[in-house]
Structures are given as structure tokens and as C-alpha cells.
Amino acid sequence: MSPAIDTVKSHALLRPRIALPFLLVATIWGSTWYVITGQIGDVPASWSIAWRFALATPAMFLVAVLMGKSLRLGRAGQLLAVFIGLSQFCANFNFVYRAELHLTSGIVAVMFGILMVPNALFGRWLLGQKVTGHFTGGSLMAIAGIALLLVHEARLSPLGGNVWLGVALTIGGILSASIANVVQANETGRTLPMVSLLAWSMLYGTGFDFALAWWTAGPPVIPGHPEYWAGVAWLAFAGSVVTFPLYYTIVRQIGAGRAAYNGVLVIVVAMLISTLVEGYQWSWLAAAGAVLGLSGMILALRARES
């Protein structure tokens, strides 16, 4: 690859057609981390997820129809949709919602900042995308910063050892999301309309969500609080129908590893909300972790892909 082409590729995030969706996705997802906290507790997490995608799925099919996209995926496309539904719209969200029972929303968002690492690794193994030394160095710095934040959280948490359960659940969510991010950009996925693939994936994921919810939490729990359903609507429409087509398109345009850098902006929004609303307590340890984590992510962001 020539230096000129490489420079253009490394600055792809500066292009408006990529930068604007990138910023919108990061801002919305930054807010959803806190909204999720209102979806757990009184209502089993699995049922909250099921209601979220029960609303999002028909909306995504409607978007595909209004855009004039074919809903025919073929056998290979349907199998891909089943896999994405299971990994992204079932496993990932069930891990994340449960993680927020043990960690503040800001910390879970910070941990998701390292999504760039498994995205890059899976992208290399499955799609042949390159990983550079600068990317690796920045990622290690980010992980070190996140580790400091988790130590701070463990010292403050009233849940004792459950902090580490929250960490384990978050890692499960990261890996589930990462494999879905990468696989949807494979040769089969690239031939399919994004919104159509997502509509079918959400449909299958919703089926898995309902089955898991009934198995783990019993019959449906339907709360009557307007605030709860307002949160469900925001997560379904803004946090899912608007953002996933934009984010998955960005993955196809600039690669899974680089697309995951929107976690830098997500963290800023999520930690600000957590501080203002959840009363997150800062310390020198937490501040050092935040600075180190964000610096590492920015360093990795500036690293060229090849």
C-alpha cells in the first residue's frame, strides 16, 4: 500500500460521512449505559432486554422496507443473522445488563472501551485486517488505565466480591459484541443490505431473549411505570434502531478495530452522566486510570492500520 493511500485510510474518521455517524453513535450509546440502570432491579434483566428488542425489531424491518431494501438474505445470510442475533442481541446484552447490577454504568462503559482489542484481533484472524505496534501499545496503556479504575471501584463497592462478577460479566459482553462486530463484515455480510441483516438478526435475537427470560425469570414481567417504558423506547429506537446500522456500516468502512474507537467518546459521555446522576466518587487513582485509559485509546486511534 502506498504512503498516500495509507494516509487517507488512517484519517478516514475525519471524513464527514464517517465522522458524523461516529459521533452520533458515541453520544447515544454514552447515554444508554445509564438508562439501562433503570431497566434492572424491579424487572428481571432478561425481560427488560426482551421488551427492548420486541420494540426494536419491527421498527428495523420498517426501516428496511422504507429504504426499499430486500428482506431476502438467502440461506447463508439467514445463518449469519441467527449467529449475530445470538451473540449481539442476546448474549451481549444479557451480560451487560447483569454487569450493571454490580458496577456503575460508567465503569461498564469504560471497560467496553477495550472493545477495540478483541475487534482488532478477531478482525485479523477472521478478516485478515492488520494490527500495528502503535495500536498494541496504545491498547495496553488503555487496559492499564481501566485496571486502575476497577481497583478504585473494588475499594468503594458495597457489594464486595461481586465487583469481580461484574467484571467477568462485562468481559463476556465485550467478547460477544466483538465477534458479532467482526463476523457481520465477512464476505457474506458485505453482500447483504445492512438494515435487512440487522432486522433479521434482531428478530432471531428477540426469540432467544424471550426464551432465555422465560427460562431464567419465569413468565413475562410487565411493569406499569411510564418511566420504565420511556427508557425501553429510548434503548430500542435510539440505542438500537438508529445506532446499529450506523455502527455496523462504519465497521465495514474502516475496520472493526478502528470502529471500536467510538468507545473513547462513549466513555466521556457515560462517565459524565455517572458522576452527575449516580454519584460516582472520583479519586486520584480513578483520575489517573481515566487519563491513562483515554490516552491509550487516543494513541491507538492515531495509529495507522498498516
Q: What is the mean pLDDT of the chain?
A: 82
Cell triple for 161: 466480591
The domain in which residue 215 lies consists of 3-302
More confident residue, 122 or 167: 167
Cell triple for 303: 495509529
| Three-state secondary structure string covering 9-29 | HHCHHHCHHHHHHHHHHHHHH
Cell triple for 155: 475499594
For residue 36, give the nearest of 89, 90, 114, 94 by alpha carbon: 94
Q: Domain total for the chain?
A: 1
Cell triple for 288: 489517573
Q: Residue with C-alpha cell 451480560?
A: 95
Lowest mean pLDDT among 4-8, 49-53, 83-87, 275-279: 4-8
pLDDT for residue 159 is more than 50: no
Q: Residue with C-alpha cell 467484571?
A: 167
Chain-centroid distance of CA 231 in Å reads: 17
For residue 147, give the nearest of 120, 113, 172 by alpha carbon: 113
* CB-CB contact of 199 with 84 (8 Å): no
How many CB atoms are closer than 10 A to CB 236?
A: 23
pTM (predicted TM-score): 0.81
Reduce the DSSP state of residue 111 to 3 states and report it: helix
Phi, psi values for residue 218, rounded to 5°: 85, -165
More confident residue, 108 or 305: 108
CA–CA gap between residue 118 and residue 181 (Å, rounded) = 10
Helix 133-156 to helix 284-302 angle (10° resolution) is: 160
Q: What percent of the chain has pLDDT over 90?
A: 37
How many CB atoms are closer than 10 A to CB 128?
A: 7
CA–CA gap between residue 40 and residue 250 (Å, rounded) = 30
The mean per-residue pLDDT over the stretch 41-55 comes to 93
Cell triple for 37: 440502570
For residue 89, give the nearest of 282, 241, 225 by alpha carbon: 241
**Banded pLDDT at 301 (limits 50, 70, 90):** low
Highest mean pLDDT (candidates 94-108, 157-171, 222-236): 222-236
